[in-house]
């Protein structure tokens, strides 16, 4: 059993970051896990199920919305800057360290998709992280972009990103696109049916809409978290990869895993990028629970 609390802490530049804190029943202090959602998502996109399982396994669990999304503050809305998200996540670790329920020497992180890439970076640069789980993580924004955009469409796509940069630098508000959509006449970050189904699922009234800035895609194209994989050791790394992942690309994830040093473990799932949230949730969640228990301990 556990209790869920609504929490708020301060991110970079005094932005209010909000989310949930799950606290196990009983007497702490407990080891803790900090969790983050993926690209243009919110915590209601499948994270609570993992968080509750981790809390029932004996961990305090913090799940926060990234700045500019969901319950968290920040402007412009629906704008993604990976560097700021990483800086905020480090603030989340400090928040956990200051909680009386938490053993500050036993904190792990769990990231999925875009934040799975963040988890690789954070584990490499912040030694307060004692254990890391990266689920279907972003490895190379450049390679993802090169494969997702057809070669004949790439020049126009790069022109679009450059035009957006000029407009923002001239003082215009960032332009918007859909997060996921099948209509080729409507700009969208994702086109696949699986992405549309995931992002547009019923979120129970959560503060989310199908919108993200165009420049978020430009920043994503420049983001290369996979280069940090070899620098994570000796922090224990669990990587969960879907063998048919066409979003963050299974072959890139496997290459990053091979570059990482021990201690590490790979869990390879059958299916696409979003299967850890549903079809293979028991495997993905169970492996993460075991990894955290082995390296953080749990009462």
Q: Max alpha carbon distance in the chain (Å)?
A: 60
Residue 193 lies in a domain: no
Residue 174 lies in a domain: no
Residue 28 maps to which CATH number?
Answer: 3.40.50.1820
User: What tokens does 250 get?
Assistant: 């299974």
Residue 68 lies in a domain: yes
Residue 96 lies in a domain: yes
Residue 69 lies in a domain: yes
Number of domains in the chain: 1
In percent, the amount of the chain with pLDDT more than 90 equals 96
Residue 159 lies in a domain: no
pLDDT score recorded for residue 283: 98
pLDDT score recorded for residue 298: 65
pLDDT tens across 133-169, in order? 999 999 999 999 999 999 999 999 999 999 999 999 9
Do 17 and 8 touch, CB atoms closer than 8 A? yes
Residue 124 lies in a domain: yes
Confidence of residue 185 (pLDDT cuts 50, 70, 90): confident
pLDDT tens across 54-75, in order? 999 999 999 999 999 999 999 9
pLDDT tens across 110-138, in order? 999 999 999 999 999 999 999 999 999 99
Structural domain range at position 45: 2-141+223-296
pLDDT score recorded for residue 28: 86
Do 29 and 1 touch, CB atoms closer than 8 A? no
Work out the mean pLDDT of the chain and round it to a whole number: 97
pLDDT score recorded for residue 55: 97
pLDDT tens across 231-255, in order? 999 999 999 999 999 999 999 999 9
pLDDT tens across 23-35, in order? 999 888 999 999 9
pLDDT score recorded for residue 299: 54
Residue 40 lies in a domain: yes
Residue 224, CA distances (Å) to 39, 55, 144, 219 in order: 14, 31, 10, 10
Q: Which residues of 195-215 are buried (b: 16+ CB within 10 A; e: fewer)?
A: bbebbeeebeeeebebebbbb
């Amino acid at each position: 059993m556990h209790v869920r609390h609504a929490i708020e802490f301060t991110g970079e530049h005094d932005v209010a970051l909000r989310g949930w804190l799950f606290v196990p029943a009983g007497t702490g202090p407990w080891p803790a896990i900090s969790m983050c959602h993926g690209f243009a998502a919110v915590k209601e996109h499948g994270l609570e199920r993992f968080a509750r399982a981790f809390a029932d396994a004996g961990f305090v669990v913090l799940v926060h919305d990234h700045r500019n999304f969901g319950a968290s503050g920040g402007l412009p809305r629906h704008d993604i800057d990976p560097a700021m998200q990483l800086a905020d996540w480090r603030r989340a670790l400090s928040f956990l360290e200051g909680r009386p329920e938490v053993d500050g020497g036993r904190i792990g992180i769990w990231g999925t998709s875009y934040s799975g890439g963040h988890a690789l970076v954070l584990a490499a640069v912040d030694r307060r992280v004692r254990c890391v789980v990266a689920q279907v993580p972003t490895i190379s924004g450049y390679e993802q972009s090169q494969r997702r955009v057809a070669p004949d469409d790439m020049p126009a796509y790069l022109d679009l990103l450059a035009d957006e940069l000029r407009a923002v630098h001239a003082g215009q508000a960032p332009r918007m696109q859909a997060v996921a959509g099948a209509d080729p006449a409507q700009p969208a970050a994702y086109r696949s049916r699986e992405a549309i189904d995931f992002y547009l699922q019923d979120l129970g009234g959560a503060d989310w809409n199908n919108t993200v800035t165009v420049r978020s895609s430009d920043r994503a194209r420049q983001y290369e978290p996979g280069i940090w994989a070899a620098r994570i050791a000796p922090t224990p790394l669990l990587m969960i990869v879907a063998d048919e992942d066409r979003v963050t690309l299974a072959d890139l994830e496997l290459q990053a895993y091979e570059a990482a040093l021990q201690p590490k473990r790979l869990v390879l799932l059958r299916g696409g990028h979003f299967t850890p949230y549903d079809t293979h949730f028991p495997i993905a969640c169970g492996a993460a629970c075991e990894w955290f228990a082995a390296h953080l301990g749990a009462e």
